């Protein structure tokens, strides 16, 4: 049974300045708790802060599977920014310019390493990258990572969750991972992992994805109240917007993307899919997010993943180019369920019977809704009735008219 996380709380000891409990409250009404009497505070000013953080996150690794074997419950509090940018030196690898229409140097050319087919037919040259960006920090199961204040976190590298469960990443900044170079590193990777909460973080200036899942499963993943800042000097379309934002490819993934500020992007917000060898259906619930100053592509849909998109504010009046599709479909078979004002009555004939509540229309500006919002009745297939009702029906979206003010006030570290 899948139960998305909808709330959490902490028990804080002011005298000891420690967090002793983390509660994950699921939409199914159950409560899972991790007893956290092992609290580690890491100050960025420490001479060996990087080593301390690596050890706290993962004190043991399997050499065969490249997964962390440290399952000890810990709460790891980061004070200040720990900079990994130059921790492992630099490397020179072949690559090419990948910006659309070969942006002029003065506009900041986006580069890509020579991986797969991306540089086919293009001129190759040596690209300088910081090695740390491609060596994310492994995290073991039962870990809570919390930043102290608004400006704590890590710089120059990301986090890798592989084969783990019960992870909370909260109130941290993850920034500046080989910003100009695609394949230069991801901020957060979730692969074959479950029960993940990514909440109240700030992520910016990343070479590739803000969050990526797959090809292994990504179950019970909640991404909430984050500030995903796509502003960059190296936009794919020469417009200072980041294209490579979210790539959700986990097998049979169940992901909730809610109450985030997603701004200054030009693609993959998110892009959905999974391997053709996977027989099951992925479920991604996208609700109460604020999209601002976006271009080209919002949610890129797929026929293997249900995209249930409701109560989002696509506010793109100030988009410089004004050409943005909130829903970008690959085919007419894509599993899209995205209501807006003109089809909300039709949508609720399905919602009330399939998920046990009314769904909430999205609101939009600066584009034609007929090009974006669709209701594919196959998206709410009888085959997946039980899981869809548990996954989506128990969620309680806030009023779409309140999304903008709520998100701008709450997104990011507090």
Active site positions, annotated? 268
- Are 37 and 29 within 8 A, CB to CB? no
**Beta-sheet strands, E only, within 346-396:** 363-364
CA 100 to chain centre: 24
Element counts in the chain: helices (H) and strands (E): 4, 36
- Asked whether the bond before 270 is cis by omega within 30 degrees of 0, the reply is yes
CA distance 174 to 155: 6
Which tokens go with 281?
Answer: 């259906």
- Asked whether the bond before 215 is cis by omega within 30 degrees of 0, the reply is yes
- Are 228 and 267 within 8 A, CB to CB? no
Region of residue 394 (left: phi > 0; alpha: psi -120 to 50; beta: else): alpha
CA 115 to chain centre: 23
Helix or strand holding residue 56 (H, E): helix 49-57
- Are 55 and 40 within 8 A, CB to CB? no
- Are 148 and 77 within 8 A, CB to CB? yes
Residues belonging to the chain: 414
- Are 224 and 201 within 8 A, CB to CB? no
Give 366's DSSP letter: S
């Amino acid at each position: 049974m899948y139960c998305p996380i909808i709330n959490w709380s902490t028990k804080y000891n002011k005298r000891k300045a420690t967090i002793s409990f983390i509660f994950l409250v699921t939409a199914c009404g159950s409560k899972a708790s991790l007893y956290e009497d092992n609290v580690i505070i890491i100050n960025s000013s420490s001479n060996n802060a990087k080593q301390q953080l690596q050890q706290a996150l993962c004190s043991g690794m399997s050499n065969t599977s490249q997964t962390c074997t440290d399952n000890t419950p810990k709460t790891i509090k980061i004070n200040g920014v720990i900079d990994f940018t130059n921790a492992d030196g630099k490397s020179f690898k072949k690559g090419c310019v990948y910006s659309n229409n070969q942006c002029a140097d003065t506009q900041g050319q986006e580069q890509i390493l020579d991986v797969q087919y991306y540089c086919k037919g293009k001129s190759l040259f040596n690209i300088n990258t910081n090695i740390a960006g491609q060596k994310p920090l492994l995290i073991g199961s039962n870990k809570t990572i919390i930043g102290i204040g608004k400006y704590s976190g890590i710089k120059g590298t990301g986090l890798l969750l592989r084969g783990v469960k019960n992870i909370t990443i909260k109130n941290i900044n993850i920034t500046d991972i080989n910003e100009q170079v695609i394949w230069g590193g991801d901020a957060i990777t979730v692969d074959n992992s479950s029960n993940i909460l990514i909440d109240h973080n700030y992520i910016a200036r990343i070479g590739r994805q803000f969050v990526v899942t797959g090809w292994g499963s990504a179950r019970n993943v909640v991404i909430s109240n984050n500030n995903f800042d796509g502003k960059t000097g190296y936009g794919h379309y020469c417009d200072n917007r980041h294209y490579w934002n979210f790539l959700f490819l986990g097998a049979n993934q169940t992901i909730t993307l809610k109450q985030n500020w997603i701004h200054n992007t030009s693609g993959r917000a998110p892009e959905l899919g999974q391997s053709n060898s996977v027989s099951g259906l992925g479920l991604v619930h996208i609700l109460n997010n604020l999209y601002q100053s976006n271009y080209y592509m919002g949610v890129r849909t797929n026929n293997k993943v249900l995209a249930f998109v409701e109560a989002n504010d696509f506010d793109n009046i100030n988009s410089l180019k004004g050409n943005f599709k909130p829903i970008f479909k690959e085919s007419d078979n894509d599993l899209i369920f995205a209501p807006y004002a003109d089809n909300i009555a039709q949508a609720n004939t399905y919602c009330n019977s399939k998920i046990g509540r009314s769904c909430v229309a999205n609101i939009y500006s600066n584009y034609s809704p007929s090009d974006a919002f669709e209701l594919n009745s196959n998206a709410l297939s009888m085959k997946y009735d039980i899981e869809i009702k548990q996954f989506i029906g128990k969620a309680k979206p806030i009023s779409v008219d309140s999304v903008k003010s709520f998100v701008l006030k709450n997104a990011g570290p507090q």
